[in-house]
Amino acid sequence: MPMIEAIVAPLSKLLDKIIPDPQARDKAKLELLKLQGDQEMQGIAAQMQAIIAEANSSDPWTSRARPSFLYMMYALILWSIPMGLIAAVDPRMATGIAGGMTAYLRGIPEELYALFGTGYLGYTAARAWGKAKGAER
């Protein structure tokens, strides 16, 4: 909540000038910090509700999209371990496997890569913009 933090610091300085009694001033600052904490907790609760709603969705595309993408990325990263072992034992076989994978990936039309990249970047940009605007949490 950068907006709340931006408001708290000037208000704290204003309280220093307005309230001459140190105990009353400290009490007012404590209340201000408590309000800031409450606002942050409300923001976190809103984020958690959105995540839980997404996970509990009956639509499998919605509820499994993020975990499925991560699982795919983990599989691609972990695939490097057996490929490294294969390359250590039989470099020609590893080269053949890599060549086969490359041929498969080159078989996918360039337009599909562009479509996926554009869609994914647009989705992430829209999410980031929505979060910055405060519309999504």
Q: Are 15 and 25 in contact, with CB atoms under 8 Å apart?
A: yes
Query: Which SS3 state, helix, strand or coil, does residue 21 take?
Result: coil
Q: Is the pLDDT reported for residue 3 higher than 70?
A: no
Q: Both tokens of residue 26?
A: 């400290």
Tell me what the pLDDT averaged over the chain comes to. Answer: 79
- Residue 72 within any structural domain of the chain: no
Where does the pLDDT of residue 53 fall: very low under 50, low under 70, confident under 90, or very high at 90 and above? Answer: confident
Phi, then psi, of 13 in degrees rounded to 5: -65, -35
- Residue 63 within any structural domain of the chain: no
Query: What domain range includes position 117?
Result: 79-137
- Residue 66 within any structural domain of the chain: no
| 50 vs 114, more confident | 114
Task: Say whether both 54 and 89 belong to one domain.
Answer: no
pLDDT of residue 98: 92
Task: Say whether both 6 and 41 belong to one domain.
Answer: yes
Task: Say whether both 9 and 46 belong to one domain.
Answer: yes
pLDDT of residue 2: 58
- Compute the average pLDDT of residues 104-115: 91
Task: Say whether both 7 and 40 belong to one domain.
Answer: yes
- Residue 29 within any structural domain of the chain: yes
Total number of domains constituting the chain: 2
**Residues 59-70: b if buried by 16+ CB within 10 A, e if exposed:** eeeeeeeeeeee
Task: Say whether both 48 and 87 belong to one domain.
Answer: no
- Residue 121 within any structural domain of the chain: yes
Radius of gyration (Cα) for the chain, nearest Å?
Answer: 26
